[in-house]
């Protein structure tokens, strides 16, 4: 039977090829367009589907993770039998949380990049710097735990200080939510005139005075530091030429212009101090790089020829800029 079938098929093929070779067969080609009705079957198939579409819609709302509801029941392992479908909508509530994470990831990008070079990089950074996020910091109704802890540490070091109401200048961008005014940097070192700083900077200054300044004075002059004369602490100065705000605008910087010893000697910061004074000043300045993130002074630029500038400017990777 199979051989006979092939035989008949072969003859049909021969007949088709024979007619196709002849001219008249081509004239009958117009019959082919009648194959177009095939798409009509597709069009007829689609109309019934819309009726099915509404059915799948409620399911993805209940089970967004594409798994059939029957499989979700054992996964949840919940003992309640009657209402598995109403309990399942809870998992989707977890999904909205991811959008919050990218918002938290943004702050790390906000701190300005550390300039690799001194003056030139500062000028470039000033032009490119974005508004400092610290400008938006305002005091809450209650003092944060870290601020309270900072004050406890100041007291334990014998620092005499007073609270000051929040500094917040929206026009310039200056801000200290919880400022303190220092009277001393420890039990035996006074500081003046009025030295308003944020508590972190106040603590850094007090620790530096006790651990570096006092020992350096004893080593070089054989006597104690009695007082420190500061040239700038919190200063709300408008940024110049659209540059970034000074750390002084956040109470995060201290300029020291002079040191007074208990024997009455005074050491002034300047471009050409006496030799002993220079040795003391150099020791203090060198040791300041690390405890403070920025250290500038005579020789850095014209603005710092008569004082040492220390600040805690936050930089990427905790980098320092000491010159
Ligand atoms: Zn300064």
Q: Is residue 212 part of a domain?
A: yes
For residue 225, the SS3 value is: strand
Q: Is the pLDDT of residue 276 over 90?
A: yes
Q: Is residue 14 part of a domain?
A: no
Q: Model's pTM, two decimal places?
A: 0.61
Q: Is residue 199 part of a domain?
A: yes
Residues 292, 318 contacting (CB under 8 angstroms):
no
Range of the domain at 219: 145-322
Q: Is residue 33 part of a domain?
A: no
Measured in Å, residue 9 CA sits from the centre of ligand 1 at 101
Q: Is residue 241 part of a domain?
A: yes
d(CA 79, CA 86): 14
Average pLDDT over residues 22-49: 44
Q: Is residue 119 part of a domain?
A: no
- For the chain, the domain total comes to 1
Long-range CB contact pairs, 218-223, < 8 A, 24+? 219/283, 220/276, 220/279, 220/280, 220/283, 221/261, 221/263, 221/265, 221/276, 221/280, 223/261, 223/262, 223/263, 223/265
Q: Is the pLDDT of residue 58 over 50?
A: no
d(CA 167, CA 74): 58
Q: Is residue 130 part of a domain?
A: no
What is the chain's mean pLDDT, rounded? 75
Confidence of residue 282 (pLDDT cuts 50, 70, 90): very high
Measured in Å, residue 223 CA sits from the centre of ligand 1 at 27
Q: Which residues contact 235 (CB under 8 A, 6 or more apart)?
A: 246, 248, 249
Q: Is the pLDDT of residue 144 over 80?
A: yes
Higher-confidence residue of 288 and 39: namely: 288
Q: Is the pLDDT of residue 207 over 90?
A: yes
Q: Which residues contact 187 (CB under 8 A, 6 or more apart)?
A: 157, 158
What are the DSSP E strand ranges found in the chain? 161-163, 167-168, 175-176, 179-184, 190-198, 225-232, 253-261, 266-268, 294-296, 308-311, 321-322
Measured in Å, residue 138 CA sits from the centre of ligand 1 at 23
d(CA 2, CA 9): 10
Q: Is the pLDDT of residue 56 over 90?
A: no
Angle at 106 between CA 177 and CA 132, to 5 degrees: 40
Confidence of residue 127 (pLDDT cuts 50, 70, 90): low
Measured in Å, residue 99 CA sits from the centre of ligand 1 at 40
Q: Is the pLDDT of residue 172 over 50?
A: yes
Q: Is the pLDDT of residue 2 over 90?
A: no
Confidence of residue 125 (pLDDT cuts 50, 70, 90): low
pLDDT confidence of residue 317: 85
Q: Is residue 269 part of a domain?
A: yes
Measured in Å, residue 255 CA sits from the centre of ligand 1 at 5
Measured in Å, residue 249 CA sits from the centre of ligand 1 at 10
């Amino acid at each position: 039977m199979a051989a006979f079938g092939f035989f008949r098929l072969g003859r049909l093929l021969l007949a088709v090829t024979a007619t196709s070779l002849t001219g008249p067969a081509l004239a009958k080609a117009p019959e082919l367009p009648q194959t177009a009705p095939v798409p009509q079957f597709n069009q007829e198939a689609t109309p019934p589907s819309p009726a099915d579409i509404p059915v799948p819609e409620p399911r993805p709302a209940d089970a967004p993770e594409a798994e059939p509801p029957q499989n979700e029941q054992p996964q949840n392992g919940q003992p309640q039998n009657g209402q598995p479908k109403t309990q399942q909508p809870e998992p989707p509530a977890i999904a909205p949380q991811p959008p919050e994470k990218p918002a938290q990831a943004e702050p790390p990008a906000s701190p300005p990049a550390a300039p690799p070079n001194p003056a030139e990089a500062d000028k470039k950074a000033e032009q490119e710097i974005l508004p400092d996020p610290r400008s938006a910091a305002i005091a809450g109704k209650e003092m944060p735990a870290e601020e309270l802890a900072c004050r406890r540490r100041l007291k334990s070091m014998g620092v005499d200080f007073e609270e000051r109401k929040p500094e917040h200048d929206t026009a310039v961008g200056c801000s200290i939510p919880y400022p303190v005014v220092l009277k001393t940097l420890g039990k035996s070192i006074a500081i003046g005139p009025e030295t308003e700083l944020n508590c972190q900077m106040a603590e850094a200054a007090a620790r530096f005075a006790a651990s570096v300044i006092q020992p350096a004075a004893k080593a070089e002059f054989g006597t104690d530091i009695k007082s420190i004369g500061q040239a700038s602490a919190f200063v709300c100065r408008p940024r110049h030429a659209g540059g970034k705000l000074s750390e002084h605008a956040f109470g995060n910087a201290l300029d020291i212009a002079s040191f007074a010893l208990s024997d009455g000697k005074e050491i002034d910061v300047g471009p050409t101090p006496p030799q002993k004074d220079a040795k003391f000043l150099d020791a203090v300045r060198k040791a300041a790089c690390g405890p403070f993130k920025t250290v500038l002074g005579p020789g850095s630029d014209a603005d710092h020829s008569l004082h040492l500038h220390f600040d805690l400017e936050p930089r990427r990777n905790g980098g320092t800029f000491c010159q």
